[in-house]
Copies of this chain bind each other. A is one copy, B any other.
Amino acid sequence: MKTYLECFPCFLNQALRAGRIATDDERKIKRILDEVGMMLKDIPFETTPPESGMLIYRKVSEITGNLDPYKEIKEESTEKCLSLYPSLKNLVEKSNDKLLTAIRIAIAGNVIDFGAKREFDIEEEIEAAFTRDFAVCDYVEFKDRLDGADEILYIGDNAGECVFDRILIETMKKPVIYVVRGVPVINDATYEDAVQAGIDKVATILSSGTDAPGTILNTCSEEFKKIYKSAEFIISKGQGNYEALSNEKRPIFFLLKVKCHVIANDMGLTEGDIVLQSITKW
């Protein structure tokens, strides 16, 4: 996805939010805003928003000296989600269409996003993910691809959300490579977060190598890119990965909740929509 005009004030808002999490020192936060302000002129429309996000969150770490401001928040998110795991598993077990139920759960987990919004209620979101119709639901195609796939490349998004992804992975009953960020950025899942969520018990965890809040391929490791390029079935969770990969020509299914009006416009959807969308370009 390209960068839209609306993204520029949002970059400042993200810098402010992350700055406040990383430090109480208002002068340091002001320096972050000053420096992010000066960056804007070097961000062309043609870049994807997570590429700029990467530079912004690097700046937050550099100025505050805090390399993982969301560490505690992430751990708490995962704890919270783990406590919901048994009842969600039960929901899947009881349902007529276990796979679709697990997909809905995985999308509900996508609300745990401190980049787009700071406040959310995970229980409320689960409720919503079950009562709301999909705005896009390429489910038949998803099932076909899944049936024919020997392995799934599952690109994760946020910590906590991993627990919900685990339920989908368990339900798909196929070998999965679960992709996490290379280093902490916002509350995006890293290796440690995936392990805390128990993903290591159900999938092979692979770092993409990036420190961007989205899978920006040219910032990813060679190892990841090789696996990505040969993958026959890719699940991409969340907005950051959508922004980074929406112009790709690979067999990707985007699973996400639309949390910002710019992405909503880009996808031809409405804020709040839940989506299981197949890329049509491969």
Contact = CB atoms under 8 A, between A and B. Distances in A.
Interface in A8-64: 8-10, 12-13, 15-16, 19-20, 26, 29-30, 33-41, 45
A8 B14 CA distance: 12
A140 interface: no
- What is the interface residue range for chain A against chain B? 20 to 34
Given A34-B41, A37-B41, A40-B37, A6 B16 contact: yes
A68 to B, nearest CB: 22
Given A37-B38, A37-B40, A40-B37, A45 B30 contact: yes
Given A5-B26, A9-B12, A13-B9, A40 B33 contact: yes
A20 B9 CA distance: 14
A25 to B, nearest CB: 11
B5 A30 contact: yes
Q: How many copies does the complex hold?
A: 2
A35 B9 CA distance: 13
A129 B101 CA distance: 47
Contacts of A8: 12, 16, 30, 33, 37
Contacts of A36: 37
Interface in A100-136: none
Interface of A: 5-6, 8-10, 12-13, 15-16, 19-20, 26, 29-30, 33-41, 45
16 contacts: A5-B16, A5-B26, A5-B29, A8-B33, A9-B10, A9-B12, A12-B12, A12-B37, A33-B40, A34-B40, A35-B41, A36-B37, A37-B39, A37-B41, A38-B38, A38-B41
